[in-house]
């Protein structure tokens, strides 16, 4: 009898597991912009670095959780960082200066994720996605206001906690990056590290 009571108590503490079916996910993130190299084709031999302040990101996704633990989803995202400084030059010259403006990315992604079944309230997950992003850079000081649509990819992982049968809260990490956008004659990579808090609603 004692073993039965202990087992029942453990089951009650386990809580609801992730259910199969449709869901919506909403998340906000604090992000860190990678300092990126710039190749300026307007200046022969021109190279530099672009740095940006920490920023934010928001994502929303519609997905389907399969019985085998996999999830597939379509996601829209927005990432924004204020510009901090730019450094560069040509043929050994070097300058560094503060700049105004911001760098943004509006993304559309298709993701595949996998939930590890723990039979409890906490569910670890990993995943990745591919899609496109419209990367834009705006700065009065640099006289730049341009954008480029490029290939985008991301990797994510974290843990979700089941609040109810249909509502979960998650904490995760996401690396979001793109192929090289060309912004007003300059080429530079784009990448951010994101710490995100989200909510998943099943229906």
Report how far residue 73's alpha carbon sits from residue 123's, in angstroms, rounded to the nearest whole number.
18
Helix (H) or strand (E) holding 3: helix 2-14
pTM: 0.84
For residues 70 and 113, the answer to whether their CB atoms sit within 8 Å is: yes
Rama region for 188: left / alpha / beta (φ>0; ψ in -120 to 50; rest): beta
**Where in the chain are the domains?**
2-202
CATH number of 2-202: 2.40.160.20
Mean pLDDT of 129-157: 94
On the CB side of 76, CA atoms within 13 Å amount to 3
Question: Looking at 45-54, 158-167, 175-184, which range is the least confident one?
Answer: 45-54
Report how far residue 181's alpha carbon sits from residue 37's, in angstroms, rounded to the nearest whole number.
12
pLDDT band at 7 (very low <50, low <70, confident <90, very high): very low
User: What is the pairing mode between strands 36-40 and 46-52?
Assistant: antiparallel
**What is the sign of the dihedral through the CA atoms of 117, 63, 153 and 32?**
negative
Q: In which residue are the tokens 């974290």 written?
A: 158
- Token pair, residue 76, equals 């829209």
pLDDT at position 76 over 90: yes
């Amino acid at each position: 009898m004692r073993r039965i009571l202990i087992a029942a108590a453990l089951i009650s503490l386990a809580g609801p597991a992730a259910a199969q079916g449709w869901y919506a996910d909403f998340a906000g993130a604090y992000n860190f912009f990678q300092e990126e190299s710039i190749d300026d084709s307007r200046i022969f031999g021109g190279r530099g670095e672009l740095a940006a302040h920490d920023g934010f990101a928001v994502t929303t996704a519609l997905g389907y959780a399969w019985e085998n633990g996999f999830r597939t989803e379509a996601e829209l995202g927005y990432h924004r960082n204020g510009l901090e400084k730019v450094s560069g030059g040509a043929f050994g010259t070097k300058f560094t200066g503060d700049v105004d403006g911001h760098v943004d990315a509006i993304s559309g992604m298709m993701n595949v994720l996998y939930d590890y079944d723990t039979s409890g309230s906490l569910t670890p997950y990993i995943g990745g996605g591919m899609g496109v992003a419209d990367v834009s850079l705006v700065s009065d000081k640099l006289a730049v206001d341009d954008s480029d649509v490029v290939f985008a990819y991301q990797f994510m992982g974290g843990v979700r906690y089941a609040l109810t049968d249909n509502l979960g809260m998650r904490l995760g990490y996401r690396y979001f990056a793109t192929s090289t956008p060309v912004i007003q004659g300059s080429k530079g990579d784009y990448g951010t590290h994101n710490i995100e808090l989200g909510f998943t609603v099943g229906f």
